[in-house]
Amino acid sequence: MQKIPRWADLALIPLLNLLIAFVISGIVIYAIGEDPWMALRTMVEGTILRADGWGYMLYFATNFMFTGLAVAVAFHASQFNIGGEGQATMGGLGVALVCMALPWPHWTVALLAATLGAALFGAVWAAIPAFLQAKRGSHIVITTIMFNFIAASLLNYLLSNVLRPIGSMDPSSAHFPDGTKLPTFHEMPILSGIFDKNTPANITFFMALAACVIVWALIWKTRLGYMIRAFGKSEAAAKYAGISPFRIIMISMIISGALSGMMALNTVMGYSEKLILNSVEGAGFIGIAVALMGRSHPFGVFLASILFGFLYQGGAELALWTTIPRELITVIQALVILFTGALDNMVRTPVERLFLMLRKGDR
Residue ranges in contact with another protein by CB under 8 A: 28, 32-34, 80, 82, 132, 136-139, 141-143, 145-147, 149-150, 153-154, 156-157, 161, 285, 288, 292, 323-325, 327-335, 337-338, 341-346
User: Measured from the CB of residue 315, what is the shortest distance to another protein in angstroms?
Assistant: 10
Nearer to another protein, 149 or 226 (CB): 149
Note whether 119 and 252 are within 8 A (CB).
Answer: no
The nearer residue to another protein, 132 or 194, going by C-beta atoms, is 132
Closest approach of Cβ 333 to another protein, in Å?
6
Question: Rounded to an integer, what distance in angstroms lies between the CA atom of residue 44 and that of residue 151?
Answer: 36
Kindly tell me which of 35 and 187 has the beta carbon lying closer to another protein.
Answer: 35
48/142 with CB nearer another protein? 142
The residue (of 2 and 345) whose beta carbon lies closer to another protein is 345
Task: Output 55 or 294, the one with its CB closest to another protein.
Answer: 294
Closest CA to 312 of 124, 95, 304: 304
Tell me the closest approach of the beta carbon of residue 134 to another protein, in angstroms. 12
What's the min distance (Å) between Cβ of 28 and another protein?
7
CB 209 within 8 A of CB 194: no
CB of 218 to another protein, least distance (A): 24
Smallest gap, in angstroms, from Cβ of residue 336 to another protein? 8
Q: How far is the CB of 308 from another protein (least distance, A)?
A: 13
Is 83 or 225 the residue whose CB approaches another protein more closely? 83
- Taking the least distance from each CB to another protein, the nearer of 33 and 189 is 33
- Residue 219 burial by CB count (10 A; 0-12/13-18/19+): exposed, middle or buried? buried
The distance of closest approach from Cβ of residue 164 to another protein in the complex, given in angstroms and rounded to an integer, is 13
Of residues 10 and 132, the one with the C-beta less far from another protein? 132
CB 273 to another protein: min, Å: 25
